[in-house]
Amino acid sequence: MCGIAAYYGGKNGVPIVVEGLKRLEYRGYDSAGLAFLKENNIEVVKTKGKVNELKVLAEGKFSNVVIAHTRWATHGEPSHVNSHPHKSMNGKIVIVHNGIIENHSKLRKELEEKYNYEFKSQTDSEVVAQLIQYFYQGDFEEAFRKMLTKIDGAFGIVALHEDHDQMICARKGSPLVLGIGENEYFVASDPTPFLDHTKNVVYLDEKQMAILSKDNYVVKDFKGFNLNVEIETVPFGIEAIQKQGYEHFMLKEIFEQCDTIKDCFRGKIRNIDGISVSKEDVKRIIFVACGTSFYSALVAKYIIERKTHIPVVVEQASEFRYRQPMLYSTDLVIAISQSGETADTLEAIRLSKKVGTKVAGIVNVTGSSIAKECGQGMYLHAGPEIGVASTKAFSSQIVSFILLNLFFNQSPYYRSEIIDDLKKLPDVVKGFLDRNYVDKVAEKYKDAKFFLFMGRDINFPVAMEGALKLKEISYIPAEGYPAGEMKHGPIALIDENVPSIFIVRKDEVFPKVISNMEEVKSRKGKIICVCDDVNEDIERLADDIILVPKVRWEFSPIVNVIPLQLLAYHIANLNGREIDQPRNLAKSVTVE
């Protein structure tokens, strides 16, 4: 959710971390700040506002040791005083923190009542700086470690002390990555802030800390024992996090799907090396996910159950954790997450492992917590997804489910047939994107106050995903339903001012969908039809038609979701919305 960027080296780190924060804006934030060491003093600059405002305030500042932060409010409203970094009461220690300190109220009360500590902010984070001061007796690292023993919850922390040439950081439940450069080091929530300086990284694991100094870095566990860590290489370059001529990252990522689909199945068609479970030992598959990943998992249920006859359950990770699920040794629990850091999904996997259930992950970000926790699964290889509203990850997830389906389906004929069609899919998607006219449809409906999205069978989850995309970035209320449920409530909302978007495919439920469209039309509702074929009924009933390519049943969610992504994008753009950073949303939800 929040973002951390820090620098320790021989250059002026202030402009480096400010640019780093710019690259973390996609994570969502409401305020920004930085702190730096200068002549054994700590100076803090922060603002309730955008990183560009911080850049102006920090102009002319110089330091070789800098920590910076973008805040997404969880405790205390967005304000200057609640913005990070936070200082200790004596002003000698400064910290930035991502996550939630669950026992902060108890710790704060104890420090205030027993030891007369004074707090300036309403945040949970300030208690971290105060605890380090409380434990400090000349050894910064020891005080930091003692602080870690007192706090509960999820955190990524970076701290400085004005009397020490050290930067100390630690993670538990919130990602931190070290960048290893030439006589310089970086710390960030992900590698994007320092990609133009180094691609060599160390991903801190759970309950690991790092101490950075002028000459080296050391990674330790929370007890202080040194650890051997692997330096990895980031698999993408700086160009992957640039707009490359597109007005918004979201639009760029929509148009990248013809490439990301191919990247997802490249090298996996013959064998999915990342999954090591025995097919015979899996009697049920349980997907756990949140948001867009949850809707993609619903698509997986349709594909896998129909083609493999393995029962599939799809669970919202936030509910799965707390309802005492019935899990068995013959289950395979699969976590779906673009970031690989979604807090509820990560905890769902940990819960499953505790009872001895097999787990796997399907994630986009290499080295992420879910990938490490699962130890097996698939990477999407979709590249960085900067837009908060997920697009290319959804289509890549569908491809990964098709591959998973092949893993469990032993029919040589089916396998050969679907592989041939899968290889053609990127060009099919490119053809639609190159010739689409969704912007014209968006112009017509940009002032609508509410939308209904409806589909049946495998495209019912696509209707829900389309509704989610629209409300995420345009702030227009929208709901997705199975078309067959229309008479059980949604039909009450239909009038001449409510557009209904139907996803229509020429299959066994086609006549049923036409009947649903008739019911909308008889109530003067407007109909936008996303379909792969046009007949007399569709021409008669639809006010607008978006024609998509004809593809096999398993691929239809991919070609049908793309026009819905474009529709949401263009409506939001026509209404002047902050498309890449919609209000109140964060790209990676790393706290509950």
- CATH label of the domain that carries residue 21: 3.60.20.10
Contact 498, 452 (CB under 8 A): yes
253-262, 345-354, 372-381, 580-589: least confidently modelled range: 580-589
Is pLDDT of 323 > 60?
yes
What the block records as the tokens of 555 is 């691929």
Task: Judge if 188 and 317 occupy the same domain.
Answer: no
pTM of the model: 0.90
Q: Is the model's pLDDT at 1 over the cut of 60?
A: no
With a pLDDT cut of 70, the percent of the chain lying above it is 98
Mean pLDDT in the chain? Answer: 95
> pLDDT grade, residue 363 (50/70/90)?
very high
List phi, psi (to 5°) of 290.
-135, 155
pLDDT at 291 over 80: yes
Q: Which residues contact 68 (CB under 8 A, 6 or more apart)?
A: 4, 5, 6, 17, 18, 20, 21, 32, 33, 34, 35, 85, 96
The last residue of one of the domains, among 180, 215, 239, is 239
Same domain, 231 and 251: no
pLDDT digits (tens, 9 = 90+) for 514-538: 999 999 999 999 999 999 999 999 9
Q: In what order do the strands lie in the sheet with 232-233?
A: 41-47, 31-38, 65-71, 3-8, 185-188, 177-180, 200-203, 232-233
CATH of the domain at 322: 3.40.50.10490
User: In 3D, which of 59, 78, 62 has the Cα closest to residue 70?
Assistant: 78
The whole-number pLDDT of residue 77 equals: 82
515 within a domain of the structure (yes/no): yes
Q: How confident is the model at residue 72 (pLDDT cuts 50, 70, 90)?
A: confident
Q: Which of 71-75, 337-341, 391-395 has the lowest mean pLDDT?
A: 71-75
Together in a domain, 430 and 314: yes
pLDDT score for 215: 84
Catalytic residue annotation:
2, 587
pLDDT value, residue 171:
97
Specify if 591 maps to a domain: no
Instruction: Say if residue 206 is in the same domain as residue 249.
Output: no
Q: Alpha-carbon distance 144 to 322, whole Å? A: 32
Residues 311 and 210 in one domain: no
- CA distances to 74, 325, 393, 543, 551 from 319, rounded to whole Å, are 21, 10, 23, 39, 35
In 10 A of CB 447, how many CB atoms?
11
Q: Which domain holds residue 507?
A: 436-582
Q: Please say which residue of 406, 434, 462 terminates a domain.
A: 434
Rounded Cα gap, residues 219 and 204, in angstroms: 8
Within its chain, how far is the Cα of 219 from the centroid?
27
Are 111 and 157 members of one domain?
yes
Backbone angles phi, psi at 569, to 5 degrees: -60, -50
Q: Is 590 inside a domain boundary?
A: no
CA separation for the pair 487, 220 (Å, rounded): 60
Cβ(588)–Cβ(363) below 8 Å: no
Q: Has residue 442 been placed in a domain?
A: yes
CB 380 within 8 A of CB 397: yes
Kindly report the backbone phi and psi dihedral angles of residue 94, in degrees, each rounded to the nearest multiple of 5, phi listed first. Answer: -140, 140
Q: Does the residue 587 lie in any domain?
A: no
**275 shares its domain with 214:** no
Residue 238: other Cβ atoms inside 10 A: 13
Q: Is a pLDDT exceeding 90 seen at residue 269?
A: no
CA–CA distance, 466 with 463 (Å, rounded to integer): 5
Of the pLDDT bands very low, low, confident and very high (cuts 50, 70, 90), residue 245 is very high
Higher pLDDT, 278 or 32: 32
pLDDT, residue 309, reads 94
Residue 460 pLDDT > 70: yes
Instruction: Please state the domain count of the chain.
Output: 3
List, in sequence order, every residue forming a beta bridge with 219; answer none if it has no partner: 210
Burial of 308 (0-12, 13-18, 19+ CB in 10 A): buried
Whether residue 396 is found in the same domain as residue 459: no
Is 516 within a domain?
yes
Q: Percentage of residues in the chain with pLDDT exceeding 90?
A: 87
Q: How far apart are CA 409 and CA 405, in angstroms?
A: 6
Most confident segment among 271-280, 325-334, 365-374: 325-334
Where residue 395 falls among pLDDT bands split at 50, 70, 90? very high
Whether residues 390 and 530 share a domain: the answer is no
Name which of 361, 18, 379, 366 is nearest 188 in CA terms: 18
- State which of 182, 205, 239 marks the end of a domain: 239
Residues 192 and 314 in one domain: no
For residues 171 and 294, membership in a common domain is answered with no
Per residue in 202-233, pLDDT tens? 999 999 999 999 889 999 999 999 999 999 99
Q: Please tell me whether residues 430 and 562 are part of one structural domain.
A: no
